[in-house]
Each structure stands twice: as structure tokens, then as C-alpha cells.
Amino acid sequence: MNTPAKTSDQSRMNAHSVMFITKRPDVVMIEGKGSWLTDQSGKRYLDFLQGWAVNCLGHSNPGMVAALTAQAQKLINPSPAFYNEPMIRLADLLTSNSCFHKVFFANSGAEANEGAIKLARKWGQLHKHGAYEIITFDHSFHGRTLATMSASGKPGWDTLFAPQVPGFPKADLNDLDSVKKLISPKTVAIMVEPIQGEGGVIPCTGEFLRSLRELTRDENILLIVDEVQAGFGRTGELFAHQLYGIKPDIMTLGKGIGGGVPLAALLATEAVSCFVAGDQGGTYNGNALMTAVGINVIEQLLAPGFLQDVKEKGLFFRTELLKLSDEFHLQGERGEGLLRALILDREIGSKLVDMARDHGPDGLLINSPRPNLLRFMPALNVSKDEIQLMCSILRELLKKVA
């Protein structure tokens, strides 16, 4: 890269009009290719964040770029009042590869979850005498709108921006009794992440998720899976609930479905799809430009061997992380496929994140959703060499802090 180096002062100066919402490091990202990002000074970073599990095919994937540019030249947005070709094709690809029959496209995971909440409440009005409560879980994450923040079990979010949207009692993950205690005639659904992502990569046990399916069927309430993070090939299955062999009533997708562009979806079975005209919509929803990219992404994921490869690399990654855990007497690792966490022995997660980014000559991008663990969400087409390189940089850092 021959971009001239700029002083950090210049990048700070350029950012003063950007509203503060979080502490950001003093770098400006300029370009990305595959598993690598480059900043304004020409420094490269091995990216095991990938826009928060978003760029499932890495940065600027050529197939996606081709789909995006071809569609941009043909038709960008005919308005949500009309069908468009990519919208219809992507909906068909999603239903023919899942247990669902209907798809509503959205622009973010939170918006897809808002749609799921509305659909469940509507179904409750029609079939359950106005039942509206949706049981969710402690430490869950469903988005940043008021309703999805209320549905989330993030500590502190119950009072931030109070009052909350009512109707989201919280149970404990992997504790069926805690769910049963909350069921009442007001209950319309249970919403769960098959693997809690922001909560720290905590999978539902198979027994728990299968019991939730039985319980919801017996009680005639809906099972909603939020697969915004764990879905779309991340676990090595196209959808995370397929690992568990269950069929939910509603599923939400985001992040990986667009491979980096704003695209999300709400999927539901025929029996549950009860919106009537005027209930749901949105200016950009199902626009041709984003759904055309979505088609390319799912076609690449469904190519022979792709998901099998994700599973194999997940196992390889697991082995490498366990080696690190042994070497440095850490607490092991967990996750599925290429959504994994290394559990540390101390609360040094954010320190390691900073050290990894500042590491030279190449930096490393990782994340620490809890102080005692590191989370990894590489591109699904990451190479074994890149996984090994990630682990060797991490090894250096762990030696330094030992």
C-alpha cells in the first residue's frame, strides 16, 4: 500500500462531526480485502471481527461486488409497493432451504426482530385472546430499538431510556423451569438466540432448545429464534437451529445475510404469517439492490462443500484455541463453527483487544463481549493459515501479559 501516512491528529480532526456513541481507536479504515483491513497509515489488520459477524465472505468479496454493481446498473429501488425480481428470488432461496414459508425483508437485525414481535402479537390477537408477552432471556441481545432493547437481557438496559416497552419477562438460558414459571395466559411466544452472541457465545444445550420446542407446542405459543448472529452459515449449518434438529415458527436473520450490506429478514411458517395490508412495511424493505447481493451471498454459502468447510475450520480453530488454553492455563473455549470464544483466566479481555489492534507490523482485530473472554467471528471463507496466524499473534500477546 502506498497511501501516505497521516498523523493521528488529522484523523481525529476529520472525525469531529461524527456524533459520539462509543470510544473508537484513533484509526480510519480505508480498504478491505478478504480477511484483511487497511487503515489510513497503510497498516494492515487481520480481521476476526468482520463487521461483527457481518462480512461472512470477507471484505469486498468479488462475487458480491459483481452482483451489487450489476444490479445497481439495472434497478436499485422500485419502491416497496412493487415486487422486484431479486426480492422474489431471494425469498424463494430462503424458504426452499428452511422450514419457513414466508419472508419479510428488513434493513437491520433489530428491525427484523421488531417485525417478529409484531407478528407474534398479531397472532396472539387473532388466536390467543390478545396474549402479547414474549419470554426472552437474561444476557440476550435483540437490538437497539426501544422494543428490542426491552426484549434484550443486557444488564442495565431495563432503566436506560426508561420506560421500557412492556411484555418481555426474562428467563434463564438453559433452565426450563425458569421458563415454565413465566408462562401465563398472556404468553404468546418465547424468543431465544440458539447461541447467545453478545452474551458471550453461550449456546443453548440441545436438550434445552428441544424442550422449548416441545413446551411451546404443548402450550400453543410461538417459538422465535433470533439467528441474526448465529445464522447464515456461521455454525456450519445454514441456520443454527438446524444443529438442534428443531423447527421454529419464526426466525430472524441479519448480519451475514447481506455479507456486509444492510439486509435482514423475518421468516415465518404459513400458519403464523398473519399480517394484513398496512400492518408492516418500510421504505427500503426488500429493495432490489440489497436482495441482489443477498442472492449472491446465499449462493456462495450453498455451493457444494462450503458449509462443510466451515465446520472443519471450526474444529481446527477449536483445537488451536484449546492449545492456547492449555499453554496459558486458561478456562477453555466454546462455540460452534466459526463463532467461538476463548475463556480467559482474568478480566483482561479489553486489554488484549487493544494490544492486538496495536500489534505490529500487522494488527489483529478481535472483541471481548465480557471482560474474561475473547470472541472470534472471522469470515466464513477464512483460511487455516489465517486462523493459525491469528493464534500465533494471540500467543505473543498472552506471553506478554503472563
State the residues that interact with ligand PLP by CB under 6 A.
108-110, 113, 141-143, 193, 197-198, 226, 228-229, 254-255
By C-beta, is 202 or 398 nearer to ligand PLP?
Answer: 202
Nearest approach in angstroms of CB 198 to ligand PLP is 6
By C-beta, is 117 or 298 nearer to ligand PLP?
Answer: 117
Give the span between the Cα atoms of 148 and 166, in whole angstroms.
11
- Helix-strand-coil percent breakdown of the chain, rounded to 5? 40, 20, 45
Q: CB neighbours (10 Å) of residue 175?
A: 13
**What 3-state DSSP class applies to 76?**
coil
Nearest approach in angstroms of CB 261 to ligand PLP is 12
For residue 401, the 8-state DSSP code is H
Helix (H) or strand (E) holding 33: strand 29-33
Hunting for cell 476529520 — which residue is that?
A: 14
Give the span between the Cα atoms of 201 and 132, in whole angstroms.
29
Nearest approach in angstroms of CB 214 to ligand PLP is 23
Q: Is beta strand 29-33 parallel, antiparallel or unpaired with respect to 36-39?
A: antiparallel
Nearest approach in angstroms of CB 369 to ligand PLP is 10
Give the span between the Cα atoms of 156 and 357, in whole angstroms.
28
C-alpha cell at 84: 422486484
Give the span between the Cα atoms of 161 and 150, in whole angstroms.
10
By C-beta, is 222 or 230 nearer to ligand PLP?
Answer: 230
Alpha helices in 256-383 (DSSP H): 288-302, 306-327, 349-358
C-alpha cell at 262: 444492510
Nearest approach in angstroms of CB 193 to ligand PLP is 5
By C-beta, is 39 or 193 nearer to ligand PLP?
Answer: 193
Nearest approach in angstroms of CB 333 to ligand PLP is 19
By C-beta, is 38 or 136 nearer to ligand PLP?
Answer: 136
By C-beta, is 213 or 255 nearer to ligand PLP?
Answer: 255
Give the span between the Cα atoms of 208 and 243, in whole angstroms.
13
By C-beta, is 226 or 386 nearer to ligand PLP?
Answer: 226
Contact between 244 and 209 under an 8 Å Cβ cutoff? The reply is yes
Give the span between the Cα atoms of 224 and 73, in whole angstroms.
37
Nearest approach in angstroms of CB 229 to ligand PLP is 3
**Residue nearest ligand PLP by beta-carbon distance:** 109
Omega prior to 361 cis, within 30 of 0: yes
Nearest approach in angstroms of CB 226 to ligand PLP is 5
By C-beta, is 43 or 139 nearer to ligand PLP?
Answer: 139
By C-beta, is 242 or 325 nearer to ligand PLP?
Answer: 242
Nearest approach in angstroms of CB 228 to ligand PLP is 4
By C-beta, is 55 or 108 nearer to ligand PLP?
Answer: 108
Nearest approach in angstroms of CB 70 to ligand PLP is 25
**What 3-state DSSP class applies to 385?**
helix
**What 3-state DSSP class applies to 189?**
strand
By C-beta, is 86 or 258 nearer to ligand PLP?
Answer: 258
Q: Which residues touch 356 (CB under 8 Å, ≥6 apart)?
A: 363, 364, 365, 366, 393, 394, 397
Nearest approach in angstroms of CB 362 to ligand PLP is 27
SS (H, E, C) 204-243: CCHHHHHHHHHHHHHCCCEEEEECCCCCCCCCCCCCHHHH
